[in-house]
Amino acid sequence: MKLDSGISAVITGGASGLGAATARRLAAEGVKVALFDLNAEKGEALAAELGGVFCEVNVTDEASVDAGFVKSRAAVGQERILINCAGTGNAIKTASRNRDSGEISHFPLDKFDLIIQINLVGTFRCIAKSAAGMMSLDPLPGGERGAIVNTASVAAEDGQIGQAAYSASKGGVVGMTLPIARDLSREGIRVNTILPGIFDTPLLAGAPEPVRQALGAQVPFPPRLGDPAEYAALAHLMVTNGYMNGEDVRLDGSIRMAPR
Ligand SMILES: NC(=O)c1ccc[n+]([C@@H]2O[C@H](COP(=O)([O-])OP(=O)(O)OC[C@H]3O[C@@H](n4cnc5c(N)ncnc54)[C@H](O)[C@@H]3O)[C@@H](O)[C@H]2O)c1
């Protein structure tokens, strides 16, 4: 897909981190951006900077997502691009024993379900609704109607201790990429997924500098945290390379995560 001001994009999680970097990258090429996020303060500020629109959306909430698409399409038009970056994680063992008291507990199922609802069901909800909208568009030369990029994680393949819910949610995103690409192939809508390694985003900002340095040093090459602009560059490639479809790509400096 050739990018210009005739194209618009919805970026979930677009107020921060990987989503914000991708919004900047697309906007720099003229694309009109709509940011879907819970964080209104950061989202409004970035949308204003990029000349786009912010939509306060919770991807776990059907009505909220519907309202987001109504608002974004009224403001910047029917999107041909959807970038799914909204997501979060938790760190809880499946079952564990308290070292001091000996008390045994297990992963609370509501906390497992929440991560699945945000990362997996929320991603699918946005894909399904966006794809249905894209199908109303005339195809571009070559037959393409739209392009979708999802965000999984290397935890889909090498999840660490405590990451059962996160890895299940991201493994689900990886697993559904090919069948969704097949579902949408006749309509000219491509779907690809990025599995980021460890990126320097607000997710990690809370960690002390020595911890961030140590995390970066674990990466074989380059031995540093990923730059969100590097994620945005791959998302951009997945959107603009018309032959790339149904693919899951690790972007991780070749790191393979250890158990902890
Ligand atoms: N940073 C990393 O190292 C890394 C690695 C692997 C995967 N990822 C994935 O990349 C994605 C983006 O992460 P990031 O590092 O940019 O994090 P981030 O916290 O900077 O950005 C995530 C954004 O998603 C939004 N969000 C969270 N829940 C939402 C919901 N229910 N509805 C709408 N918006 C919601 C947050 O408000 C936030 O603005 C996530 O899916 C994350 O799991 C990140």
The CATH number of whichever domain residue 142 belongs to comes to 3.40.50.720
Q: Which domain holds residue 201?
A: 8-250
Structure-block tokens of residue 247: 């693919």
Beta strand pairing status for 81-84 and 146-151?
A: parallel
* 209 or 186, higher pLDDT: 186
Q: Is 38 in the pocket of ligand 1 (CB under 6 A)?
A: yes
Please write the tens of the pLDDT for every residue from 199-251: 999 988 777 888 888 889 999 999 999 999 999 999 999 999 999 999 999 99
Torsion angles phi and psi, residue 4, rounded to 5: -165, -175
CA 100 to centroid of ligand 1, rounded, Å? 34
Which element (helix H / strand E) includes 175?
A: helix 164-184
Q: Is 166 a catalytic residue?
A: yes
Is residue 1 in some structural domain?
no
- The catalytic position among 36, 69, 112, 166 is 166
pLDDT reported for residue 227: 97
Is residue 137 in some structural domain?
yes
pLDDT reported for residue 214: 86
Is residue 140 in some structural domain?
yes
CA 98 to centroid of ligand 1, rounded, Å? 30
- How far is the C-alpha of 40 from the C-alpha of 42, rounded, in Å? 6
Structure-block tokens of residue 167: 């890895």
Task: Scan for tokens 């900002």, then name that residue.
Answer: 205
Is residue 194 in some structural domain?
yes
The domain tally of the chain equals 1
Please write the tens of the pLDDT for every residue from 23-71: 999 999 999 999 999 999 999 999 999 999 999 999 999 999 999 999 9
Average pLDDT along the chain: 97
Please write the tens of the pLDDT for every residue from 138-160: 999 999 999 999 999 999 999 99
Is residue 259 in some structural domain?
no
pLDDT reported for residue 3: 98
